[in-house]
Amino acid sequence: MKTHILILAFACVTAANAADKIAAISDAWQQSLAAESNNDYPGALESVLAFKSAGGETYLAAVRAGWLSYLNKDYTKAIQFYTTASRQEPRAITPHLGMFNVYLAQTQPEDALRAAREVLKIDQFHRPTLLIAGEILFNQQDYRKAEVYFERAYKLQPEDPLGVSWFGWAQINQGQARLAAPLFEKLMEINPEGYMVHEGFAITHGLPPGPPPGQR
């Protein structure tokens, strides 16, 4: 009987300790969210590190610390935290998206492309990454590789004028104006006042620059 009482008492103490630990972890996380909402990124980072010290999950702490460091423009720390997060959860996309954003903020196109490829290894149809990576390649005049990304983005969402335009211009810059013609016809139908739509239509249809068809 005494043994049963001791076991029960031990179980109660253990449960109470576990509840206290969870409460401390949760409190630190909530404090971090509150600090972020007030744009206190250093304070939010301090709280998320307290979350980890209290026993919170390493991945959650690292990925959030990366985000907060990015917001605070401490890009070196952001990369370090995101790298830790990616090692904790190799199939998680968020750390690679985080590194992608950090490199974009630092205007480091080659590093950004490397991070984009890691994102696309996990999700080859991540459309925002396809468009941004394609734009980087386009600006580097690597139109063929840019077209690969733009085509994939276009097929995912054929109604989006931005994807249609990038896909068309990648083809034009490879001397494939005829292939791009249907794309600019679509743009003239759904977004005639869009950026460079008239110019693209003129190039793909052998027209001189000027007002679009039907306007004088």
- Residue 141 falls in which region: left (phi positive, over 0), alpha (psi -120 to 50) or beta: left
Question: Residue 190 is part of which domain span?
Answer: 125-216
Residue 10 within a domain: no
* Residue 24 confidence (pLDDT): 86
Residue 115 within a domain: no
* Residue 210 confidence (pLDDT): 56
* Residue 6 confidence (pLDDT): 47
Q: Count how many domains the chain has.
A: 1
- pLDDT tens digits in sequence order for the chain, 216 residues long: 555 554 544 444 454 555 667 988 999 999 999 999 999 999 999 999 999 999 999 999 999 999 999 999 999 999 999 999 999 999 999 999 999 999 999 999 999 999 999 999 999 999 999 999 999 999 999 999 999 999 999 999 999 999 999 999 999 999 999 999 999 999 999 999 999 999 999 999 988 765 544 443
* Residue 19 confidence (pLDDT): 60
Residue 98 within a domain: no
Residue 44 within a domain: no
* Residue 207 confidence (pLDDT): 86
* Residue 194 confidence (pLDDT): 95
Residue 89 within a domain: no
- The three-state DSSP-derived secondary structure of the chain is CHHHHHHHHHHHHHHHHHHHHHHHHHHHHHHHHHHHHCCCHHHHHHHHHHHHHCCCCHHHHHHHHHHHHHHCCCHHHHHHHHHHHHHHCCCCCHHHHHHHHHHHHCCCHHHHHHHHHHHHHHCCCCHHHHHHHHHHHHHCCCHHHHHHHHHHHHHHCCCCHHHHHHHHHHHHCCCCHHHHHHHHHHHHHHCCCCCCHHHHHHHHCCCCCCCCCCCC
Residue 52 within a domain: no
* Residue 7 confidence (pLDDT): 53
Q: What is the pTM (predicted TM-score) of this model? A: 0.85
Residue 120 within a domain: no
Residue 160 within a domain: yes
Distance CA 134, CA 136 (A): 5
* Residue 198 confidence (pLDDT): 95
Whichever domain contains 156, its CATH number is: 1.25.40.10
